[in-house]
Every structure is written in C-alpha cells, then in structure tokens.
Amino acid sequence: MAIKTSDTLPDATLVKLGAEGPEAVELSTLLNGRKVVIFAVPGAYTPTCDSAHVPSFIRTKDSFVEKGVHEIICISVNDPFVMGAWGASTGATEAGITMLGDPEAAFTKAIGMEFSAPPAGLITRSKRYAMLVENGVVSLLHEEAAPGQCDVSAGEALLEAM
C-alpha cells in the first residue's frame, strides 16, 4: 500500500557517495526532530528528472529554508556513484541537496512507490513524488500521475502547498 499523508515513514538505509566511497545513511537520523523535503525520481540522468525535477528544487531551495525546511533530499533507485555524479553534473550537490541512492529499491517498495517501465529500460524504479516530512511523519505528499510528468511534484508546487 502506498504511503499517504499522516503516515510515518519507515526507517531505511540509503546510500550516498562520501569522500571515501559509499556511505550508509539511516533515513531516521535525517528525519528525527526535523522538517525535511524528500523528492524521488525514476532515474538519474533521465530526461524529466534531469531537466525539470532536480532544477525545480535547486531554484526553490532558499525558499524552502525560509519556511523552516532543514534539508532537501533526492532519492532514486540508483547506486551512490551515479547519484554522486548526477548531483555534481546538475549542481544539486553544490546547491546543498542531499543525493541518496536506494539501490535495491527497499525504501521505495516499503512506501509502495515502485513501478516498472520495461520499454524504457526502467525496472523497479521509484514513482515521481515530493513530500514534506515533519519529524518522520508525512505532512504533504504530491505524487505524479505519470513518471514523465513533473507538475505537482516540482519544487514550486510543493512550496506553494506549504
């Protein structure tokens, strides 16, 4: 069953590319006592993710901070090396967006947001969504109707809903 507003996110171990290589990140440590935006994409370097979704959060990052958001996290079913390179190439890392991989889709499956699109080569990926999470509880959730759309899950749409 898919996650919904007022649900508590399950804990998950995600990965990021650190200075010495892959590092495990416990999602609960990023959420505990904090206001966090999480947005997920079907895949790093895919057209809509690269040209629309990530840039929308780079553009709106300062406005989220003004509204009390402590961190913006991008999650994709990709490995930490891809997420690190993608964060660098888009400017997301430099902008202060945390790029986390969910390589086995464990978190994505746990919240019911997985999908597959074999013709595009996307097997067990994340649906496109954005959520506001306060102390681990989902307070806003915007899920796109189709993976190629970036309307309700864009940074501007989530920011406006706050």
Nearest partner of 86 among 119, 34, 41, 120, judged by Cα = 41
What does the alpha-carbon distance between residue 133 and residue 147 come to, in Å, rounded to a whole number?
Answer: 22
Among the listed residues 3, 27, 36, 49, the single catalytic one is 49
150 is catalytic: no
> Residue 6, Cβ neighbours under 10 Å: how many?
9
For 91, the 3-state DSSP assignment is coil
Q: Say if strands 137-143 and 122-126 run parallel, antiparallel, or are unpaired.
A: unpaired
Strand partners, 141: 131
Q: Which residues of 9-24 are buried (b: 16+ CB within 10 A; e: fewer)?
A: beebebbbbeeeebee
Catalytic positions, written as ranges: 49
